[in-house]
Structure 1
């Protein structure tokens, strides 16, 4: 990867970091291999690497559905896990990377809202409405609902 390509990848990744870091209660931390990690408490929403790789954890069922829908790929190192890998190669990939990270965020918020502390902390995040805005497929919705998506 040439210097100009590295700078462009870093610029695009910075756009993702700026967006995700602004979400309610998201913390950012350093991640290995020139990465930035996004967490909700102890839960990792995902992480990005400076050279344009976005890794996002999902349940295996949700990951399989996203791969089948062509939204992402199996993780480049641990393909049998629930992790996905998405490559930011150009401007058009930034929104998809944010979309995947938002889906992961909503998955964790949905589960955290089932606790008293989480219900209060995330009272202003309407998971069902946001999933509708993401225009998820029926298959992705079914994988989400398996874990008790609010109606």
Structure 2
């Protein structure tokens, strides 16, 4: 059985903060509403509170696909935005929480790589191969790539 005590949740949150903060291009700071936030360049990819509330930023279509699959929930306040809320309830939630933040990170890096400065800054990050390791569903991949589900081919075709 997994440890779900407040102390275990705090340890899991700290582990997540450290892990995400080690990713290339991520900066860690205090969030304006409490907790710790992560940014890639000017973009906030998410933030977490010590009691386990994890808010993650996505493109709205990506957020919708993740909610439809039950991977995360509607944001606790901004229910019409691209933000989601996932509650870390113990150590067993670490891998899933990390995956949610990693998906946001990869999405935002992919967007930034389309700019000259971002292409240089994030050149070493192979978004496509890293996305493949997350093994997203077809619907999540389609939303990530900004195409309609069931459609084949590259984005923009």
TM superposition score normalised by structure 1:
0.91
Which residue pairs with 1:43 in the alignment?
43
Which residue pairs with 2:110 in the alignment?
110
Higher helix share: 1
How far 1:7 sits from its partner (Å)? 2.2
Q: Distance in 1 between matches of 2:54 and 2:155?
A: 25
Q: Distance in 2 between matches of 1:14 and 1:39?
A: 17
Find out whether 1:28 has 2:12 as its counterpart: no
Q: Distance in 2 between matches of 1:33 and 1:116?
A: 32
Deviations 1:88-124 (A, max 9, x none): 1111211111101110010111011111111111111
RMSD: 1.8
Which residue pairs with 1:126 in the alignment?
126
Which consecutive residues of structure 1, in runs of 5 or more, have no partner in the other structure? none
Which residue pairs with 1:135 in the alignment?
135
Q: Distance in 2 between matches of 1:131 and 1:144?
A: 9
Partners of 1:128 and 1:149 within 8 A in 2: no
Which residue pairs with 2:9 in the alignment?
9
Which residue pairs with 2:84 in the alignment?
84
TM superposition score normalised by structure 2:
0.87
Which residue pairs with 1:52 in the alignment?
52
Q: Distance in 1 between matches of 2:14 and 2:155?
A: 31
Which residue pairs with 2:71 in the alignment?
71
Which consecutive residues of structure 2, in runs of 5 or more, have no partner in the other structure? 148-153
Aligned residues: 147
Deviations 1:8-39 (A, max 9, x none): 22111001001000000100011144400000
